[in-house]
Amino acid sequence: MTDATVEAVLGDITRERVDAVVNAANSSLLGGGGVDGAIHAAAGPGLLAECRALRKASLPQGLPVGEAVATGAGELPATWVIHTVGPDRHAGQTDPALLASCFRRSLDVAARVGARSVAFPAVSAGVYGWDVAEVARIAVAEVRAHPAVGADVQLVRFVLFSGPALEAFSAALAS
């Protein structure tokens, strides 16, 4: 990573003016709670239509955990939504490599679509039960190690939903 900005902020990811917003999606890609529900609500019906088309054309079983795929962003101020499915600790998905893959594959997709700025939520730190400090360590390590960051992607912003999440990501960025 050279000459890229990597930062953490408290905010609403649906209002981020970046090229790509990462959605902590469920495997159906058809909306849900938390970040996923907020992104679908703010993006409008066009996002759901694109997700349904993806499911029909290339992902009939849904998006696997740890993978990522892009759609347009509908009415969001971003150009792209990159959907990734984080591991659900409550369902026994406790392998940190699955979580790391979410961040790595999302950055792969961002570089492929030409996104120079990307906003990430704390994937799997909400209802999927992962400790936010562990998510922060894994996310920051993957971003720092990814070859697209600094080459293609110039800004990675972690947009966090709470003070404790911001503290965890700030600590990970400082180490």
Nearest to 101 by CA among 69, 154, 139, 150: 139
Catalytic machinery residues? 36
Q: Is 167 exposed, middle or buried (0-12, 13-18, 19+ CB in 10 A)?
A: middle
Grouping H, G, I as helix, E, B as strand and the rest as coil, residue 166 is: helix
Tokens of 81: 């939504």
Q: How far is CA 137 from the centre of its chain?
A: 15
